[in-house]
Structure 1
Amino acid sequence: NPVQHSHTKHIDVRYHFIKEKVEKGIVEIFFVGTEYQLADLFTKALPVERFQYLVRRLGMRCLTPEELEALANESA
């Protein structure tokens, strides 16, 4: 399957690039527990409390529709 092969090849190239950097001591890899995975905000459906927690941890905030409208009008 050519599509599958291209995805696999991309992963292989990326893996070996990172592996090389780790071996040279340029990059250090650490385990991060699921409770600290801030990227979950962008990759998973989350309960409201968890979503709001991650938004705050990233220094973001949720805007109301009214706030979004006001921002859109300011930039127009």
Structure 2
Amino acid sequence: MNEDGERFSVEHAAERFRVHLQLAGIDRSELFEDSDERQQVRVHDTRLPFIPVALANGRSETWVADRTRRRSSIMVQR
């Protein structure tokens, strides 16, 4: 949700994400490559590292669970 409590539009989210990465100075060509061997980076790709990074930075399991909709400590640890 944005600052006004409105849901973000998922329409063209991947394209907007890649544009924002480039605006932030991210220039790793592999992230933007679209070929038989590679797929361009997608917003969904950020899900995997979210939990371990949040926990490593001192966020609680409750904080993580609230944002990921995980219902139990076991699910957060998976």
The structure number with the bigger radius of gyration is 1
Higher relative contact order (CA 8 A, sep 6+): 2
Q: Confirm or deny a common fold (TM above 0.5).
A: no
Under a length normalisation based on structure 1, what TM-score does the superposition of the two structures give? Answer: 0.30
Under a length normalisation based on structure 2, what TM-score does the superposition of the two structures give? Answer: 0.30
- Flag the structure with higher helix content: 1
